[in-house]
């Protein structure tokens, strides 16, 4: 099995210069050509930023609506009561509740990928910080997941909203579509993600903000990207 995997990795890296920075369109084409998994691989981007997230003024966080969606089914849970709960259900939320949903999550029943709450529910939802926080699922007004407009938030989550947050090493990464997407759709999604991260540049960032960029697919090689090709004209 290990030999088989090693052989596939070697084949995927054939003709690839690991030190070269490729244009975005060329890199996407190379990943699409090399995709050989029996499932629809996810295209992922990693951006190495010139920030130290241990400092509050260098935290990079936000949300981006990918123009062509993520290609994956996102299960959405909403903490809401009354009319807001009805609005969430009508908008397509998979799970809607209040105290009952808090209780389920506390028991470890997390049957969702994204979590939204109305502002009045946050004192309750705050109890779930130790459960949802480490999973990056805690509702937050900065990324639009604490909002009175639950219907719009549910639709955004279902339609291609992707949250991003810088990690300790100064890296932001995210899934930006499926390898089966048209190359142009993947390019649009990558550029939308990169643009959102660039616009989220914190006040404390000094020097070169965007250091390195690479894209990969679930089973594919990592390919370095020329940052100048991330703009629409690039």
Rounded (10°) angle between helices 24-34 and 183-199:
130
Q: What is the pLDDT of residue 5?
A: 47
* Distance between CA atoms of residues 63 and 78, nearest Å: 18
Q: What is the pLDDT of residue 161?
A: 86
* Distance between CA atoms of residues 75 and 92, nearest Å: 9
Two tokens, residue 13? 């890296």
* Distance between CA atoms of residues 91 and 151, nearest Å: 5
| Chain Cα centroid distance, residue 174 | 4
Q: What is the pLDDT of residue 98?
A: 96
For 121-170, strand residue ranges (E) read 161-165
Residues of the chain with pLDDT under 70: 1-15, 232-234
Q: What is the pLDDT of residue 234?
A: 46
User: pLDDT (tens digit, 9 = 90+) per residue, 49-91?
Assistant: 999 999 989 999 998 989 998 888 889 999 999 999 999 999 9
Q: What is the pLDDT of residue 7?
A: 56
Q: What is the pLDDT of residue 8?
A: 55
Residues 6+ apart with CB under 8 A from 148: 84, 118, 119
Q: What is the pLDDT of residue 59?
A: 92
* Distance between CA atoms of residues 172 and 20, nearest Å: 21
Q: What is the pLDDT of residue 194?
A: 96
Q: What is the pLDDT of residue 136?
A: 85
Q: What is the pLDDT of residue 95?
A: 96
* Distance between CA atoms of residues 108 and 141, nearest Å: 24
């Amino acid at each position: 099995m290990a030999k088989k995997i090693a052989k596939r990795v070697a084949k995927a890296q054939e003709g690839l210069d690991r030190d070269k920075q490729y244009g975005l369109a060329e890199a996407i084409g190379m990943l699409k050509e090399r995709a050989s998994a029996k499932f629809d691989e996810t295209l992922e981007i990693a951006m190495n930023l010139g920030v130290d997230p241990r400092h509050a003024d260098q935290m990079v966080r936000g949300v981006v609506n990918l123009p062509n969606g993520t290609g994956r089914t996102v299960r959405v849970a909403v903490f809401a009561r009354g009319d807001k709960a009805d609005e969430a259900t009508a908008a397509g939320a998979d799970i809607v509740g209040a105290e009952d949903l808090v209780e389920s999550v506390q028991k470890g029943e997390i049957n969702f990928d994204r979590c939204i709450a109305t502002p009045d529910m946050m004192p309750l939802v705050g109890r779930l910080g130790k459960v949802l926080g480490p999973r990056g699922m805690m509702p937050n007004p900065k990324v639009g997941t604490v909002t009175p407009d639950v219907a719009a938030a549910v639709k955004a989550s279902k339609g291609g909203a992707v949250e991003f947050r810088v990690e300790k090493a100064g890296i932001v990464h995210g899934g930006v579509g499926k390898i089966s997407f048209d190359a142009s759709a993947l390019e649009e999604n990558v550029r939308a993600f990169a643009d959102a991260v660039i616009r989220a540049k914190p006040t404390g960032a000094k020097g070169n903000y965007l250091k390195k960029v690479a894209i990969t697919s679930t089973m594919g090689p990592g390919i370095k990207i020329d940052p100048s090709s991330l703009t629409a004209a690039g």
